[in-house]
């Protein structure tokens, strides 16, 4: 409500009229010009001591049209409940500063649009905590006893259980990952794990599936079933037979493949341009020259860097050598149709790379080397499998049986997942916020850089940075509260508070 004792027209009853509200900015969010706002006015009785009458003026949202307000302002001020998060340090614009976050209808809004017109309906005191975007995990095979490649008969229950569980950990969006499988498995599973909005009922948002295989090199298969692996001598037709091109277009956001396999390299531009997916190199023995060709063709991601690929060599650095950057004549002919490539050429000329930062898959110094080479490309992934969130025992990763327990050669009894009867790592059991903590510890990077490696960077890789991985105006209100030692205190999905009592209902 606006209360003012300035010069108003003479009125003796409620009237609607316009009043020029001068621009007296009180924060960086305030407008920089005078606006004419429609208000409804009421006189009070004269004060017995001063003899002055008070006039109360409240915005009349029904009169907003034609008042000089922008369409965006009219929408916001006449819309539903507005929430303000205050007394916090906000990660925005690559910095951590004292600020506020306002949201409405599940989206971050600019409070300058409300100046002098409307305040928040709900105020949340963050008590000095860090307010950050919700985490984004682009490689998650399963969790809580479920596996996206194995639970074919109850895949909807699988998606719900995983989505709801990781939401409570601070991960508000993710890519359900399917490991190398049969064509029948992909056709069965993909329609069920594709894009789905985040909510208290659904849990974390599915940004679309990640198909990791089966177009990968048997020499670098890792924990993938060799019988499922294949090449693509018929080009795009083989990808169609394997997944179905309609499934790729509608339900998949990115694909991991080995570019050195027959027919794969030449298919990359078609996969990007015809299916609209991101292509990542991984499970590959590609030479550096082949990796560069794939990168020039638009493959702008590396799946779990250092793992399941040729080791770095000073004469032929392989895929790892992409950390050094591309040549100055980097081709822009074949690129996914997303905003990343249109808005930031400096990013588009460097490959993003995933890191399983659990202290087992990649040595801490290797993590640091990668980060120092290309900090803006680091994407933290869990590559978690069905045992994440559960005790030691036997679990499934696709059709492979996995043993979870302490590693014999680790001094601190670190738990890991390995293919039964072998020492081959089979995904991880770490949470994404744990990866963030370890990444900060290993690299000694700033808190903002550590968090952006699990928020902004994966969103940029997928081309959804306008709504995920950020707290910029217009983005989804996927928000987490963090302590200084990166413990998750609160989680919001689309502006709704997620708790064990509310999630799934």
Residues involved in catalysis: 383
Extended strands (E) in 160-277? 171-178, 205-206, 209-212, 252-257
Distance CA 66, CA 224 (A): 62
Q: Which two tokens stand for residue 20?
A: 């020029």
Alpha helices in 168-261 (DSSP H): 183-193, 236-243, 245-251
List beta partners, residue 122: 83
CA–centroid distance for 326 within its chain: 26
List beta partners, residue 90: 97, 131
Alpha helices in 375-431 (DSSP H): none
Long-range contacts of residues 25-33, Cβ cutoff 8 Å, at least 24 apart: 25/115, 27/111, 29/110, 29/111, 29/112, 29/115, 30/112, 30/115, 31/112, 31/115
Q: 320 phi and psi, to 5 degrees?
A: -55, -30
Angle between helices 432-443 and 364-373 (to 10 degrees): 80
Spell out a b/e string for 470-490, using b for 16 or more CB atoms within 10 Å of the CB, else e: bbebebbbbbbbbeeebebeb
Distance CA 53, CA 46 (A): 4
CA angle 382, 384, 386 (to 5 degrees): 165
Q: Does residue 294 contact residue 281 with C-beta atoms inside 8 Å?
A: yes
């Amino acid at each position: 409500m606006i209360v003012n004792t300035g010069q108003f027209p003479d009125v003796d009853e409620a009237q609607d009229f316009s009043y020029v509200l001068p621009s007296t900015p009180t924060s960086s969010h305030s407008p920089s010009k005078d606006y004419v706002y429609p208000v409804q006015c009421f006189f009070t009785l004269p004060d017995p001591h001063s003899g002055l009458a008070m006039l109360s003026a409240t915005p009349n949202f029904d009169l907003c049209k034609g008042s000089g307000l922008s369409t965006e302002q009219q929408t916001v001020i006449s819309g539903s409940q507005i929430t303000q998060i205050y007394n916090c340090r906000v990660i925005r614009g690559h910095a951590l500063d004292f600020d506020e976050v306002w949201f409405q209808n599940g989206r971050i809004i600019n409070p300058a649009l409300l100046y002098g017109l409307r305040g928040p309906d709900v105020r949340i005191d963050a008590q000095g905590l860090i307010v950050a975007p919700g985490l984004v995990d682009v490689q998650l095979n399963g969790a809580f006893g479920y596996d996206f490649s194995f639970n074919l008969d109850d895949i909807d229950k699988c998606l719900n259980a995983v989505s709801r569980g990781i939401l409570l950990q601070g991960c508000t969006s993710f890519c359900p990952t399917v490991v190398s499988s049969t064509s029948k498995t992909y056709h069965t599973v993909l329609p069920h794990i594709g894009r789905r909005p985040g909510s208290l009922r659904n849990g974390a948002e599915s940004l679309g599936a990640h198909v990791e295989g089966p177009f990968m090199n048997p020499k670098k298969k890792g924990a993938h079933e060799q019988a499922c692996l294949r090449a693509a001598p018929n080009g795009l037709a083989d990808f169609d037979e394997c997944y179905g091109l309609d499934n790729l277009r509608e339900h998949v956001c990115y694909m991991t493949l080995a570019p050195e396999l027959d027919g794969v390299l030449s298919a990359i531009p078609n996969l990007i341009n015809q299916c609209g997916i991101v292509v990542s190199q991984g499970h590959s023995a590609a030479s550096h020259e082949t990796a560069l060709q794939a990168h020039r063709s638009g493959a702008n991601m590396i799946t779990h860097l250092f793992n399941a690929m040729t080791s770095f060599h000073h004469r032929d650095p392989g895929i790892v050598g992409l950390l050094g950057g591309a040549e100055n004549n980097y081709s822009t002919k074949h690129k996914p149709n997303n905003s990343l490539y249109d808005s930031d050429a400096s990013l588009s000329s460097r490959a993003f790379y995933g890191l399983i930062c659990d202290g087992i898959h990649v040595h801490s110094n290797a993590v640091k080397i990668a980060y120092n080479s290309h900090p803006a490309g680091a994407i933290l992934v869990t590559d978690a499998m069905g045992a994440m969130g559960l005790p030691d025992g036997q679990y499934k990763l696709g059709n492979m049986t996995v043993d979870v327990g302490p590693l014999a050669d680790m001094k601190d009894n670190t738990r890991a997942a390995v293919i039964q009867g072998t020492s081959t790592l089979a995904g991880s059991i770490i949470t994404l916020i744990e990866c963030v903590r370890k990444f900060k510890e290993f690299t000694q990077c700033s808190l903002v850089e550590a968090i952006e490696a699990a928020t902004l960077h994966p969103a940029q890789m997928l081309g959804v940075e306008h709504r995920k991985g950020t707290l910029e105006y217009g983005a989804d209100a996927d928000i987490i509260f963090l302590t200084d030692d990166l413990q998750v205190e609160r989680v919001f999905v689309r502006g709704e508070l997620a708790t064990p009592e509310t999630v799934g209902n």
